[in-house]
Amino acid sequence: MDNGQHTDTELQRFMDEEMNAAEQDAFKMKLQNNSLLRDELAGLQSARTAIILHAANAQVAAIAKERKAVAPVVRMQPYRRILKYGIAAAACVLLFIAGLLTWNSQPSADTLFAEQYVAYEPVQSRGAEDVLPLEKAYIRHQYAAVISAYKSMAAPAQKEMLLAGNAYLETNQPVKAVQAFNRLLEKNKSIETKIYNDEAMYYLALAHLKAKDYAAAVDLMEAILADTTNAYHKSFSSSFINKVKKLNK
């Protein structure tokens, strides 16, 4: 080819990247020196791009037409049924979680016991030399010694029964605590006195709660609440008693 002349074949080969490195460099030099050549190349490139876009648009239109033709055959009912069951299943899961959270939020017997329990502190009206060994052990929180001394007594006094019952509570033996407090109340009834009656009833109610005997605990708590003369009358509120009642369900 002579200077300044070119053929469609050259342009085609350049656009298709079929030229080797030397040919590309020579043709690029021609482009720099020939504006007509550059315009022709630009025109060919634009035409090629238009053809590609037209082909792509035609393909998209054909796919859309095909889907439109098939669409009426597709039934939506199964999907609606799946959606319906999916929503129902999700609702069941939410209800289960809500129930689980409600159940977990309800206090246990141990939680209610800890909320209400206050360790008994004996009133010391006598001199230190007059305090009984069992009471001394209780004051020092030597609960095992208190229990041992109590078991060795043939006829313990009401105070010793009360301290033994609380020692059993402190060592997580609520059933034996119930026995000790009941023994105190029965003795008082037999001799028609009420020594440490209020204390025994209060801690007996808590011992029943600790032992998970909820019905007995509720009965005592309600009796204490109803008795305005009981020293522990205000200790068990109605709301607290209702919490214990729920444990019995």
pLDDT-based confidence at 90, cuts 50/70/90? Answer: low
Residue found under tokens 């053809």: 51
Highest mean pLDDT out of 1-15, 45-59, 74-88: 45-59
Q: For residue 120, which of 153, 50, 169 has the smallest C-alpha distance?
A: 169
Q: Tell me the C-alpha distance between 168 and 164, whole Å.
A: 6
Contact indicator for 156, 172 with CB cutoff of 8 Å: no
Question: CA angle at residue 117 from 184 to 163, to 5 degrees?
Answer: 30
Measured CA distances, 88 to 16, 77, 85 (Å): 60, 16, 5
The confidence score (pLDDT) of residue 17 equals 79
Q: Tell me the C-alpha distance between 203 and 13, whole Å.
A: 104
The confidence score (pLDDT) of residue 248 equals 76
pTM, entire model: 0.58
The confidence score (pLDDT) of residue 168 equals 97
Contact indicator for 182, 207 with CB cutoff of 8 Å: no
Contact indicator for 207, 226 with CB cutoff of 8 Å: no
Whether the per-residue pLDDT at 239 is higher than 50: the answer is: yes
Q: Tell me the C-alpha distance between 55 and 53, whole Å.
A: 5
Whether the per-residue pLDDT at 126 is higher than 60: the answer is: no
Whether the per-residue pLDDT at 202 is higher than 90: the answer is: yes
Q: Tell me the C-alpha distance between 146 and 185, whole Å.
A: 20
The confidence score (pLDDT) of residue 8 equals 72
Q: Tell me the C-alpha distance between 228 and 231, whole Å.
A: 8
Q: Tell me the C-alpha distance between 210 and 237, whole Å.
A: 18
Residue found under tokens 């040919």: 23
Whether the per-residue pLDDT at 186 is higher than 70: the answer is: yes
Query: What letter would DSSP give residue 107?
Result: P
Q: What percent of the chain is modeled with pLDDT above 90?
A: 47
Compute the chain's Rg from CA coordinates: 48
Whether the per-residue pLDDT at 79 is higher than 60: the answer is: no
